Amino acid sequence: MSAVDLRALRGSMEGFCASTLCTCDEEGLPNASMISQVHWVNEDHVALSYQFFNKTRRNLLATRQACVQLFDPSTLAIHRLDLDYVETRTSGPLFETMKAKLAGIASHHGLEKVFRLLGADVFRVVAVEQVQPPSAPPACRSVSLLTAVRACVDDLARCRDFDDLADAVLDGMVRHLGISNAILLMAECDGRLFALGSRGYAVSGIGAEILPGEGVIGIASREGVPIRIGHMSAEYRYGAALGAAARSAGLIAEEPPGVPFPGLGTPHSQIAVPVMAAGRVLGVLFAESDEVMRFDHECEDALLLVATHLGAMMALLREEDAEETPPAHVPAVLPGGGVTVRRYPRDDSLFIGHDYLIKGVAGAILWRLLREHTTTGRTDFTTRELRLDQSLKLPDHAENLDARLVLLRRRLEERGACLQIEKTGRGLFRLVCRCRITLEEVGKADAIEVA
Amino acid sequence: MAILAYATPTDDQIAWLDAASAPDLLPAHLVAFLQCGVSITLGACGRTGRPVVGSGVACRVSGMNTVRVLLSRRTEAAVIDAVEGGSAIAATFSRARDHRSIQLKASRALVRPVAPDDASEAARQCALLADDLVELGYARAQADVYALLGAPDLVSLEFRPERVFTQTPGPGAGAELPR
């Protein structure tokens, strides 16, 4: 192995331009070609994109050796790597990371219908030769990423609860990491994710849902790895723009219920990093930009550090259950008028009047509170009783409940609903109803009215 | 930036048939393509049997059948050593703006000194490639280095192509263009 640390060559593997590749057949006849993607795997491995069964592929399977040349667009250095084939991966984190990156590259070159990842060919790097020394200083960042991460972590360390954490991490991304558009999403057990907060958009999108495996966010969550795209790709695009286009073309009839995803219409760079703790994905930090190749390997390192620290803090700061039963709260006399809260049991979605509010576990929690309020008049609750309530089908991990309560509270706040949730102490909260509320389970005849 | 039409392997096959010439001669459109300022990827088999990748700076064709790829002795020592050790040669020529790519292969090549006017022709072809890259979004410094503008210590790798392949991305990429 050469003295050159492969980590120093990550800048050559950002996908700025195609790399070149040579393989030989069993008789030693060479084949020279371009390769869309050389992906940095670790200190002594890289992966090449396998897109077609061609001469290169046949040679690789026969001789298991390759030689690639890489160009660093930042330092202008050129390196040659001798590679020994190890294996091909056709699924899993490495494959998905490369697939997403390739989609961006293909789109950038007008080859979206031509390039499709069939596999990630993993190679051990057996030698590195510097063909051309660096002739430009590495691009200087306006902010040192290490300093920026330190500032983010410092902010997180001052948080006292999950609510604070959610704001601190998004503010830190903007203020310290210079990211203009960011979203924090929390994962449900079934792989869906819900936006808990955002920065840089006209609307917050709190409560917006990402389906399992959808776009860079869904894949980052499913695979537990960062997913990064340096160019716009239709395949990985989010946003209301697509739905609006489909509606105007008559492809879909009406807007589905739910909060529209707040993403940029035509992002040129996207990155999603998983928020993990104890081997579980709790959510995803997402950032995007109008700029091409805005997020590089080092940005990814920085965001992953922040996300990992967030995950640890979420586990650490989980709401402790209140020791005592909350004092009975006497509800104020409600003014006239009222609203109907409707529940669709199919997906636990709740509507206030005819306006969508929330669904999933957060929807189930609110419905549980409203029903209890209906029958007993109770307004003060504990997180402990929710945790113990089997009917909510809550996951085993406490931070999930905290995240859902925050999501629910923020969504109600944003809607300016006559229903609000207020935190009244550690593990304690209050349901505040400012008008008369009627509950209606869609599909059931009887409506229950809150007294 | 203008919207560019991308080349396809079928374009190469049609052009090839349209220009069918004597079997040992390269068609005129290909000779023009090879010298129009394209990036050149070289492949050889090293003395240890390992593949070696390299870069050519420019290309000159004489007699419609002899190709000379100019390359830097300093940076391409590995390719030159492989060829001097008896390796076959593969050279892929790619045009940046439409991805049209053609690969030539020959069972042997000779390393020769450059001709007096090779350096100025190399500079012309590199400048064309660099300009294409700038138009595609490269910074000038990136384009100049990528296009190997001003590469030192040029030598020439001379061979008579025995087989020609289309390497343009798309269905049919890699197909041999029969002679």
Q: What is the pLDDT of residues A77-87, one digit of tens each?
A: 999 999 999 99
Residue B156 lies in a domain: yes
Amino acid A444: pLDDT: 63
Q: For residue A249, what pLDDT is reported?
A: 53
Segment A149-169 mean pLDDT: 94
CATH number at residue B38: 2.30.110.10
> Strand (E) positions, A246-296?
269-277, 280-289
Q: What range defines the domain where residue B83 resides?
A: 9-116+152-166
Conformation bin of residue B68: beta by default, left when phi > 0, alpha when psi is -120 to 50 = beta
Contact B45 A132 (CB under 8 A): no
A73: chain B residues, CB-CB within 8 Å = 138-139, 142
pLDDT, one tens digit per residue, over B67-126 is 999 999 999 999 999 999 999 999 999 998 888 999 999 999 999 999 999 999 999 999
What domain count does chain B have?
Answer: 1
| CB of B166 less than 8 A from some CB of A | no
The predicted-structure confidence for A72-114, as pLDDT tens digits, reads as follows 988 999 999 999 999 999 999 999 999 888 887 776 666 666 6
Q: What percent of chain A has pLDDT over 70?
A: 84
- Number of Cβ pairs < 8 A linking chain A and chain B: 118
Please report residues of B whose CB lies closer than 8 A to that of A292: 137
pTM, entire model:
0.80
Tell me whether residue B147 is in a domain: no
> Where residue B2 falls among pLDDT bands split at 50, 70, 90?
very low
- Asked whether residue B77 is assigned to any structural domain, the reply reads yes
What local confidence, expressed as pLDDT, does residue A174 receive? 96
Give the H/E segment covering residue A401: helix A398-415
What is the average per-residue pLDDT within A419-444? Answer: 86
* Minimal C-alpha gap between A76 and chain B (Å): 6
Q: Closest Cα to residue A67, out of A82, A45, A47?
A: A82
Go through A356-367 and write b for each residue having 16 or more CB atoms within 10 A of its CB, e for each that does not: bbbbbbbbbbbb
pLDDT band of residue A403 (cuts 50, 70, 90) is confident
B124 domain-assigned: no
Which residues, at least 6 apart from A43, have a Cβ–Cβ distance to it below 8 Å? A5, A6, A7
Q: Which structural domains are found in chain A, ordered by start?
A: 6-132 (2.30.110.10), 145-316 (3.30.450.40), 338-449 (1.10.10)
Q: What is the pLDDT of residues A176-191, one digit of tens each?
A: 999 999 999 999 888 8
Contact between residue A287 and residue A227 where contact means Cβ atoms under 8 Å apart: no
pLDDT of residue A242: 45
Q: Tokens 């595609």 label which residue?
A: B136
pLDDT tens-digit map of A32-58? 999 888 999 999 999 999 988 789 999
Residues of chain B found within 8 Å of residue A67, distances taken between Cβ atoms:
50-53
Mean pLDDT, rounded, of chain B: 90
